[in-house]
């Protein structure tokens, strides 16, 4: 008996549902990821880019779709927080990680919910990101605080103009 492929739109609904029903470990992991990004910007002058939560990837044949808890597209790193539902899904998770690595060059780092709630979890996230950066070229990852300030000012100005036009 073969499984019917799940459409991307359905996977997006699953991802949205996962986002609404986050575990404590996922909330702690998101906070740790943002702190790690700030640390890497300051101490290493590198910008790892955006952090995407509940990221959906679909195989090229469109037979399989997968959801990653956190994805860093600039360095192609996925962070998975494994809760109770992953206890009996080892084979599925292994297949998903292999597919992501082989076809998209996405490295997956897995942590348990209990690990994410520990005090040293932020250090583990930093180490995972820095380990991934070891194999990546640094070009394009340089962090420019002035450019970031200009970008934020532009966004704020655009927001103010939009608000002014509405009133």
More confident residue, 5 or 74: 74
Each residue's pLDDT tens digit, 133-148: 886 666 667 767 777 7
Each residue's pLDDT tens digit, 90-117: 787 888 888 888 888 889 999 988 899 9
Res. 47: pLDDT tops 50: yes
pLDDT for the residue 53: 87
Percent of the chain at pLDDT exceeding 90: 23
pLDDT for the residue 156: 86
CATH architecture label of 8-166: 3-Layer(aba) Sandwich (3.40)
CB atoms within 10 A of CB 8: 13
Strands 77-82 and 107-112: parallel
pLDDT for the residue 2: 45
Residue-range domain boundaries for the chain: 8-166
Confidence of residue 164 (pLDDT cuts 50, 70, 90): confident
Res. 1: pLDDT tops 50: no
Which 3 state secondary structure label does DSSP give 46? strand
More confident residue, 155 or 142: 155
Identify whether the C-beta of residue 96 lies closer than 8 Å to the C-beta of residue 67. Answer: no
Please state which of the ranges 74-78, 89-93, 121-125 shows the lowest mean pLDDT: 89-93
Task: Catalogue the E-assigned strands of 5-164.
Answer: 52-58, 65-72, 77-82, 107-112
Res. 126: pLDDT tops 80: yes
């Amino acid at each position: 008996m073969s499984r019917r492929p799940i459409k991307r739109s359905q996977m997006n609904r699953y991802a949205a549902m996962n986002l609404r029903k986050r575990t404590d470990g996922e909330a702690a992991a998101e906070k740790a990821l943002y702190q790690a990004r700030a640390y890497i910007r300051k101490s290493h002058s590198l910008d790892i880019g955006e952090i995407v939560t509940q990221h959906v990837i679909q195989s090229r044949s469109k037979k399989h779709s997968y959801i990653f808890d956190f994805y860093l597209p600039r360095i192609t790193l996925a962070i998975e927080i494994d809760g109770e539902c992953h206890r009996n899904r080892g084979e599925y998770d292994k297949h998903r990680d292999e597919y992501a690595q082989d076809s998209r060059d996405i490295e997956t780092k897995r942590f348990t919910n209990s690990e994410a709630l520990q005090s040293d979890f932020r250090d583990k996230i930093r180490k995972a990101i820095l380990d991934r950066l070891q194999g990546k070229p640094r070009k394009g990852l340089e962090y420019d605080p002035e450019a970031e300030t200009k970008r934020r000012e532009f966004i704020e100005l655009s927001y103010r103009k939009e608000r002014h036009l509405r009133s």
